[in-house]
Copies of this chain bind each other. A is one copy, B any other.
Amino acid sequence: MRPQLHSSALRLFTPIEADLLAVEERIERVTDIEPPILRDALRHVMLAPGKRIRPALTIACGRLFRDATASLHSMAAAVEYLHTATLIHDDVVDQPSLRRGAPALYSLVGNSVALLAGDYLFAQAAATASETNNLRIMRLFAESVMTLCAGQIDECARIGDERQEIDRDSYYRTIDAKTAALFVLACHAGAILGEASLAQTEALRRYGRLLGLAFQIVDDVLDLVGDESAMGKPVGSDLRQGLVTLPVIYLRDEIAEDLLRQAFSDDGAKEQAIEQIADRARESNAVRRAYAEARHLCDEAAAELEALPKGSHRELLWELTRTVIDRPS
């Protein structure tokens, strides 16, 4: 059977469709391994419908400058393995029931096998990145993973903090590390393989960071007020976990302090409080403020593209700055 792009892949990826199909083929190949329990686990997580935004970034950033097909495909696959590995471990940590509309891996194979399958996929990502035969890429890769992990730990450490005094600055610090770092890696690696100039590489790093920040803010807004069926997970997961995100930081000015404390409690009032907060958020200024901030970041990201070579790949990167804001899930 010829591999296909998932219907969830974005329509704007048409200029790099052949590349993404080749990456999809590679992804299918690496899931064909022993022991069977690992194969089934990897197939469950890697072949689930994903938007493949990060591999698309690597390919588009590289193709802005030159045709480095083989290396770009390796790196694009590596970025997606890495992303998936972090999702597997995040789910072991956060214990949500669903991921991309399907049962989270840990709930099928247990925490232990999920943890080890995540480790395997981290290593698979490193092995695949090494196919680029590029030491700068390998260093960048390892350092990005360190940043990602430190960001997750930072977030994790805060969950225990009942005061939840997190402000806008520390929110940004966390999402810079836990989300934007992977977007930066995807773009930077593409730029290296495309042999971009230093200034172009820096522009793409800034683009990736701004896009990643906006992406996470929209994600956090949708978690609060999104459409459950489109997201494939229940509304309010972050609150349920005790996580304060940007819309909630702004919402704190508009709701009673007690309501937030109830949402973070473990008593019977928890679910009701989460529902009330989500209802309030829908008609609040907080969500509008957070969206405006994401839109502003996307505008800044788009501006970074101006100095880069024109063409369908730049167009694609530009379109992504619009799609991130308007996505339904």
Contacts and interface: CB of A to CB of B under 8 A. Distances in A.
Number of copies of this chain in the oligomer?
2
Contact of A135 (B35, B115, B119, B135): B135
Contacts of A135: 130, 133, 135, 138
A198 interface: no
A120 B153 CA distance: 9
Interface of A: 33-35, 37-38, 89, 92-93, 111-113, 115-120, 122-124, 126-127, 129-130, 133, 135, 138-139, 141-143, 145-146, 148-150, 152-154, 156-157
Contact of A145 (B33, B89, B122, B154): B122
A150 B38 contact: yes
A41 to B, nearest CB: 8
A127 B115 CA distance: 21
Contacts of A153: 35, 37-38, 113, 116-117, 120
A36 to B, nearest CB: 8
Contacts of A142: 123-124, 126-127, 129-130
16 contacts: A34-B150, A37-B153, A89-B115, A89-B119, A116-B152, A119-B145, A119-B149, A120-B149, A123-B142, A126-B138, A126-B141, A126-B142, A127-B143, A129-B142, A130-B135, A135-B135
A149 B130 contact: no
B139 A127 contact: yes
Given A89-B119, A113-B153, 17 more contacts: A35-B150, A37-B157, A89-B115, A92-B111, A93-B111, A112-B156, A113-B157, A116-B153, A119-B122, A119-B145, A119-B152, A120-B145, A120-B149, A120-B150, A127-B146, A135-B135, A138-B138
Contacts of A124: 142, 146
Given A35-B153, A126-B141, A93 B120 contact: no
A116 B130 contact: no
Contacts of A123: 122, 142-143, 145-146, 148-149
Contacts of A115: 89, 92-93, 115
A142 B74 CA distance: 14
